[in-house]
Amino acid sequence: MLKIVLATLAFAAHAVAFAQATPVGLWKTIDDDTQKEKSLVRIAESGGVLSGKIEKLLDPTAKPDAVCDKCTDERKDKPILGMTILRNLKHNADDAEWWDGGDVVDPNNGKTYKARVRTIEGGKKLQMRGYIGPFYRTQTWVRVE
């Protein structure tokens, strides 16, 4: 009986650790230049594809009704709050720790970057890398839930 209980506990612990290693969840974004908290982004998975939507703006100077006036795609002049900023990321079959192939938009400047994400520090943080050609920006987001 003890072996069954221990095996069940080990399986449950492994399942929790695996669940935390996925990018799915709520993340606090941290500006790579100022190191200030910017927003809460919820990353969801549907059909093996990740997307991320801004749930809350944390910057006290941000207007709650701000729009992405610098965006150049269908998000132009749309509210930043509720905007899908991360889309179409798929699990990389060749490098299993990364999700890539999608894009991320920076609502502050309207630029859209190719995107790669991976969890680090046991799923407590997310490394978000946006790039255009050889030029890239990397942010570290912190898991909220």
User: pLDDT, tens digit, for every residue of 41-88?
Assistant: 999 999 999 999 999 999 898 898 999 999 999 999 999 999 999 999
User: pLDDT, tens digit, for every residue of 123-138?
Assistant: 999 999 999 999 999 9
Task: Catalogue all structural domains in the chain, each as residue range(s) with its CATH number.
Answer: 23-143 (2.40.128.520)
Cβ atoms of 6 and 25 within 8 Å: the answer is: no
The pTM of the full predicted model, rounded to 2 decimals, is 0.84
pLDDT at site 12: 40
- What is the percent of the chain where pLDDT is above 70? 86
Query: At residue 104, does pLDDT exceed 70?
Result: yes
CB atoms within 10 A of CB 69: 11
Q: CA distances (Å), 99 to each of 30, 43, 57, 68, 135, in order?
A: 19, 12, 25, 25, 19
